[in-house]
Amino acid sequence: MFEQQDLIDKILSKCLGDVSGGVNLRLIAAGNINQGIFVGTSSGRFFLKTNFEPSADIFLREAEGLRLLKSNTSLTVPEVIAFGREQDQNFLLMEWVESGRNADLYWENLGEGLAELHMATQKQFGLQEDNYIASLPQINSIQEDWRGFFISNRLEPLVGKAFYKGMIDAPFLRKFQSIYPKLQGIFPKEKPALIHGDLWSGNVMTDAKGNPALIDPAVYFGHREMDIAFSKLFGGFSERFYNRYDEVFPLEPGFEEREAVYNLYPLLVHLLLFGTSYLPPIEKTVKYLVG
């Protein structure tokens, strides 16, 4: 019997109704946060995510993010079937995206699709609801100014949490906070863009037709360069992706000088989730900014 069979049976019965025709289960991923399971039934194939996170709304927010992506880009985004909580576990049931080989224009299509997403806008930075990046709460309080949003909703909460957990000391906390005035004027003035928010290679798939698919978002209306910078943090994508994106929605000059500043946020996320091996690149960027 599959591990946690009773739990899975209850979830599937709640979401799909009668599945007495038989269910095929296969463990896809057992990460630090989520467990991913392939579910094959007579009525279709699905992907089930579960976790023990105490935040009961974590998959509600992910479902909202997936639906927001799906309505604002032509890229493949899995359809949400259901979400909820069962036996102290959160669950999210989605359409199964069959994986294939990259089509000839895979990277160009990803560049165009991301540019299309970034063209969705609203008047202010943020989102009506807070959500999560991985398992960490992500504050999306609405602000008019990107710099203020980035400092108060992205950097300050996480660097404070790192200090509280003993991952950085008081002198470094003060040094980090001393970069805030130096961010004045560094970011180009742009309209808020709908961004994926957690854009690295692990959250981009290839669907059955060879087209790019987006998963695991941490969406909000932010500066679009956040997505581009994050995509470069852990190896980056093909240059064909960046070239096509820039053809469709050109970046302002000087992005390379801003890239490390944007990536302070995902590096702080990784510091809190995975430990102090992620501290040196943060220290390097702070040293560059404060001299």
Per residue in 36-51, pLDDT (tens digit) is: 999 998 888 999 999 8
Ranges of each domain in the chain: 5-95, 106-290
Q: What CA–CA distance (Å, rounded) separates 108 from 244?
A: 5
Q: Is the model's pLDDT at 108 over the cut of 50?
A: yes
Q: What is the mean pLDDT of the chain?
A: 94
**Class for domain 5-95, per CATH?**
alpha beta
Q: Is the model's pLDDT at 3 over the cut of 70?
A: no
Instruction: Give residue 21's pLDDT band: very low, low, confident or very high (50, 70, 90).
Output: low
Q: What is the pLDDT of residues 133-177, one digit of tens each?
A: 999 999 999 999 999 999 999 999 999 999 999 999 999 999 999
| CATH topology identical between 5-95 and 106-290 | no
Q: Is the model's pLDDT at 60 over the cut of 60?
A: yes
Q: Specify the fold of 106-290.
A: Aminoglycoside 3'-phosphotransferase; Chain: A, domain 2 (3.90.1200)
Q: What CA–CA distance (Å, rounded) separates 14 from 172?
A: 50
Model-wide pTM > 0.85 = yes
Q: What CA–CA distance (Å, rounded) separates 126 from 222?
A: 6
Q: What CA–CA distance (Å, rounded) separates 128 from 216?
A: 19
Question: What angle in degrees, to the nearest 10, is found between the helix axes of 225-233 and 255-262?
Answer: 80
Q: What is the pLDDT of residues 61-71, one digit of tens each?
A: 999 999 999 99
Q: What per-residue confidence (pLDDT) applies to 12?
A: 86
Q: What per-residue confidence (pLDDT) applies to 42?
A: 81
Residue 18 annotated as catalytic: no
Exactly one of 198, 216, 227, 246 is catalytic; which is it?
Answer: 198
Q: Is the model's pLDDT at 75 over the cut of 80?
A: yes
Q: What per-residue confidence (pLDDT) applies to 230?
A: 98
Q: In degrees rounded to 5, what are phi and psi of residue 81? A: -95, -50
Q: Is the model's pLDDT at 1 over the cut of 50?
A: no
Q: Which residue has the tokens 């956040």?
A: 226
The residue-averaged pLDDT of 217-224 equals 98
Q: What per-residue confidence (pLDDT) applies to 87?
A: 85
